[in-house]
């Protein structure tokens, strides 16, 4: 083994340790709820907690709605920008990156200021309004991931020709988007969707400040009040995130038709 290889391996090993050690420690800790034995007791307690079921279910539902809203927002936008206004692409790309630059707390304070109970549109005053606000906020948070993955997907197909082919066969915009464009960027949409899912499931700032009982605040509450369960919860949340990543890989590889191979 040459010196250079040695250093490379060392760097990889150090990185791996940095990443894995806390995980292993946390997992180890989460298994020690019952004194003296290794067990999944903490997980049983967590999963059986009605609070967990309720907040988790709520967050999953919200994540799915966010994904749908994101798709409805991003796919047509990215498509028309590519097809008709390619000059606008840098501007749109910049806008979609803003949520990464502006902290969520700024956005949510802005929301609260604009939509508070004494405003013209008092969304924060009602259950429905708060949920809609949260949904819109999450759609904004997911923009950078959604837009980039959809835009990358659009690049792999010849949208101009496909659009014209569909038009010459009589199709209108709605049909072109739903039947021709969306299915062909579906894998990209999915990868954006899984990232969105992972973000929304664990999100804390928006939910806490809008006073919504979702999974994020529940995790924080757990962390402040219990010993072993938070670790179990963290492992569960972590597993969900990784399952999402795995699913992205899976769908990318085993999609029914391949747009990459042409």
Partner 1 sequence: MSFLDIRHLQKSFGAHRVVKDFTLGIDKGEFVSFLGPSGCGKTTVLRMVGGFEAPTSGAVSIDGRDVTALPANRRKIGMVFQSYALFPNLTVAENVGFGLKVAGQGKAEIARRVAEMLELIGLPQLGSRYPFQLSGGQQQRVALARALAPRPEVLLLDEPLSALDAKIRVSLRDEIRRIQRDLGITTIFVTHDQEEALSMSDRVVVMHQGVADQIGTPFEIYNRPATRFVAEFVGTLNLIDADLVDAAAGHIRLAGVPVTLDRASPGRAGERISLALRPETVTLGRGGGDIVLPGRIAEVHFLGPVIRVRVSVEGGGSIALDTFNQADRLPPLIGAPVDISMSHRDLLVLAA
Residues near partner 1 (CB under 8 A) are 157-158, 161-162, 164-172, 175, 179-180, 183-184, 186, 256-259, 261-262
70 Cβ contact partners less than 8 Å away, ≥ 6 residues apart? 139, 142, 143, 146, 192, 193, 196
The residue among 74, 107, 91 whose CA lies nearest residue 203 is: 107
Residue 26 or 83: the one with the smaller Cβ distance to partner 1 is 83
Q: How far apart are CA 191 and CA 186, in angstroms?
A: 9
Q: Which residue number, 238 or 251, has a Cβ lying nearer to partner 1? A: 251
Read off φ and ψ for residue 90, nearest 5 degrees.
-60, -40
DSSP state of 178: I
Confirm if 130 and 212 have CB atoms less than 8 A apart: yes
Residue with tokens 């405003």, as numbered in its chain: 119
* 3-state DSSP assignment of residue 31: coil
Burial class (CB in 10 A: 0-12, 13-18, 19+), 69: middle
Residue 144, CA distances (Å) to 96, 101, 183 in order: 5, 10, 21
């Amino acid at each position: 083994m040459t010196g250079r290889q040695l250093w490379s391996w060392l760097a990889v090993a150090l990185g791996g340790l940095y990443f894995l050690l806390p995980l292993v420690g946390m997992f180890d800790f989460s298994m020690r709820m019952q004194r003296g034995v290794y067990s999944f007791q903490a997980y049983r307690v967590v999963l059986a907690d009605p609070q967990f079921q309720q907040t988790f279910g709520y967050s999953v539902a919200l994540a799915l709605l966010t994904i749908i809203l994101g798709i409805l927002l991003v796919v047509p936008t990215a498509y028309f920008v590519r097809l008709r206004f390619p000059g606008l692409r840098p501007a749109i790309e910049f806008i979609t990156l803003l949520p990464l630059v502006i902290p969520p707390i700024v956005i949510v304070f802005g929301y609260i200021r604009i939509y508070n109970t004494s405003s013209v549109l008092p969304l924060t005053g009602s259950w429905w309004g708060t949920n809609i606000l949260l949904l819109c906020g999450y759609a904004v948070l997911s923009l950078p991931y959604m837009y980039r993955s959809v835009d990358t997907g659009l690049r792999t197909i010849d949208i101009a020709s496909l659009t014209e082919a569909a038009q010459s066969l009589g199709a209108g915009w709605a049909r072109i988007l739903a039947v021709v464009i969306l299915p062909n960027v579906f894998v990209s949409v999915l990868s954006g969707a899984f990232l969105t899912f992972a973000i929304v499931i664990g999100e804390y700032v928006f939910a806490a400040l809008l006073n919504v009982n979702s999974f994020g605040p529940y995790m924080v509450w757990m962390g402040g009040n219990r010993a072993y369960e938070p670790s179990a919860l963290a492992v569960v949340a972590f597993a969900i995130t990784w399952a999402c990543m795995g699913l992205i890989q899976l769908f990318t590889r085993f999609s029914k038709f391949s747009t990459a191979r042409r």
